[in-house]
Structure 1
Amino acid sequence: MGARELERVDLGEVPYLDAMEDMRGWVERRRAGTIGDRLVLLTHPPVITYGTRTPADELPRADSPIPLVEVDRGGRATYHGPGQLVGYLVLNLRERGPGDIVRWVENALIEAVGSLGFATLRRDTPAGAQSLVGVWTPRHDKLASIGMRIRGGVTSHGFALNVSSDLDEFTRFTACGLPDVAMTSLAELAAERGVVAPGEAAVRDAVARAFGAER
């Protein structure tokens, strides 16, 4: 992809449905050319979201206390909540030039996490297998999930990076359609090494730098 600068937009905790309404507006404005490409960084209260192709048996039980929302992005079910940094990307791909947008997002997150002292990698998906899109540790625990939509040449949705997430919440359902995969967080990886975990502000800055996003 071409190297075009992104605008960085920092928000606090935003209810998921409110953020989706805001994102529809950002996408319309990007198509109209009244805003440039942007990276929106925020968090959500607890919610489980799922793409339209998610099988019912991968979703939480009906008595789950966490709201469940069907969304128009790619990917299967995932959890958003406190301690997780969510990044929404609103990009005009027709202006940005050819390239694999998902791989670009994976590589940017790997660069960001690497700058904080944690080695991660991307994985190719074998033919016929469930998608391995995302950011992984060398032992194949999943640190970040990616789910995007492209319509009219403009992207929406983005990624979720576990900073200090409650990982037990991912056990309420089949995360990302991968029943045998363990989710992890930067806090858990830091604890395993006996080092101080990076705070949210440091993670936001590292992610923004890796994506070339300025305020």
Structure 2
Amino acid sequence: MSATPLAVSQEFQDAPDTVLSSGEFPVALRWRGLEPYNQSFDAMRAFTDARTPDTQDEIWLVEHPPVFTLGLAGDPAHLLLAESGIPLVKVDRGGQITYHGPGQIVAYLLIDLKRRKLMVRELVRRIEEAVIETLATYNLATDRKAGAPGIYVAPHPQGANDRTRAHEGAKIAALGLKIRNGCSYHGVSLNVRMDLQPFLAINPCGYAGLETVDMATLGVAADWRDVALVLAERLALQIGGLPAIAAATTGSTE
């Protein structure tokens, strides 16, 4: 099932940057708008290469035109339809192949792990928790899968509607990171309301037959920018080491 892609509103394009609470080290939030994937990719690497120990961490919120991305050790065989008309970009993150397109939030996390004393596995866990918390605010029950990074519709969630039950186990968010000199880039994507057809042209994240879903398909009519802001706040709080209960009750910006 697919949904109508979102258009990027002028409000989103004009959204002001701000600073989010994130423990001892605040995080700058950058709204970058609809941006070609390679432009974001080049900018992330340049930002990371230019960092100093005093550089503030940042979260970038982006929406991309249609593109497939293949991780550093990814298998091109997971692209099932070579003539889809959608470009394929090989990148330096972990993971296999995924799709980015309009109606999907992409949050890039430019974080100094050394300064925050964070291990990569713990950072991944905190990113996943932030997505789970974000979707819970829209009454969507989601969870992790062992050995398969990302977030999935929870099995038999209590009080689930018919749409949610029909898509149990479907993937709604994907993540992949690159760590260079103790700092991360790349990040997490969350499907809000998008055309899901391109996911049928790949084995999403390397898993044949894995269903990919978005919030709209699960019955949630949510504004892209509203969801993006909730996600950014949850990410900042999780990265800052604050417990989940604080993220659920605070959610403020500085």
Post-superposition CA distance 1:11-55 (Å, at most 9, x none): 1100001111111122123x3145311110010000000013222
For 2:42 and 2:116, locate their aligned partners in 1 and report how far apart those are by CA, in whole Å.
25
2:144 to 101, 109, 122: 122
Identity, % of aligned positions:
35
Q: Residue 164 of structure 1 corresponds to which residue in structure 2?
A: 193
1:207 paired to 2:231: yes
- Quote how far apart the aligned CAs of 1:3 are: 6.2
Aligned length, in residue pairs? 203
Post-superposition CA distance 1:96-147 (Å, at most 9, x none): 113411111100111111112211111222xxxxxx1001101211000001
Q: Residue 128 of structure 1 corresponds to which residue in structure 2?
A: none
Q: Gaps (5+ residues) in structure 2?
A: 1-21, 155-167, 238-252
Post-superposition CA distance 1:135-163 (Å, at most 9, x none): 11012110000010111100010011100
Q: Residue 212 of structure 2 corresponds to which residue in structure 1?
A: 183
Structure 1 segment 59-138 matched on structure 2, within 5 A = 59-99=79-119, 100-125=122-147, 132-138=148-154
The Cα RMSD (Å) is 1.8
For 1:206 and 1:103, locate their aligned partners in 2 and report how far apart those are by CA, in whole Å.
18
1:16 paired to 2:37: yes
For 1:15 and 1:93, locate their aligned partners in 2 and report how far apart those are by CA, in whole Å.
27
Q: Residue 174 of structure 1 corresponds to which residue in structure 2?
A: 203
Normalising by structure 2, what TM-score? 0.75
Normalising by structure 1, what TM-score? 0.88
Q: Gaps (5+ residues) in structure 1?
A: 126-131, 191-195
Q: 1:182 to 1:62 in 2, by over 3 A?
A: closer
Q: Residue 245 of structure 2 corresponds to which residue in structure 1?
A: none
DSSP-derived class of the 1:79 partner: strand
For 1:140 and 1:114, locate their aligned partners in 2 and report how far apart those are by CA, in whole Å.
16
1:54 paired to 2:74: yes
